[in-house]
Amino acid sequence: MSKGAFSASSRSRDPYEGMSVDLLTPLLRDGLTDKGRFDEYPGAAKIRVGDLRLLGLQIGPDDRGEEDKYHANVWGVTDTLRKRILKLARLTKKPDDVED
């Protein structure tokens, strides 16, 4: 996984330095499957919100209007927690350079 995976955004991109995520429940509610939405994103992963909260992280919507109404942020991600998040993540589509 790249160093950028499961990292907080830079302050210039997000003043709150949250890790960008999409919320699966609203995607499914609107009939968008995770597979269809993320086919173009090798390395997309599922992580349970409850697992992130157990790590002491905060999760909340970051409504970007119709541009991306499924977007949310995870706040409090550090390098140490990043490694723990990686262990919790389940890839929905493996990048080409990841072997089974």
Of 34, 13, 16, 24, the C-alpha closest to 74 is 16
What are the per-10-residue average pLDDT scores of the chain (100 residues)?
74 83 84 62 81 94 73 91 90 62
pLDDT in the model for residue 23:
85
Return the C-alpha torsion angle 68, 19, 6, 48, nearest 10.
Answer: -70
DSSP H/E element including 58? strand 58-61
Cα 87 to chain centroid distance, Å, stands at: 13
Q: Kindly state the tokens that stand for 99.
A: 């072997």
Q: Which two tokens stand for residue 9?
A: 């955004």
Q: Does the predicted TM-score (pTM) go above 0.85? A: no
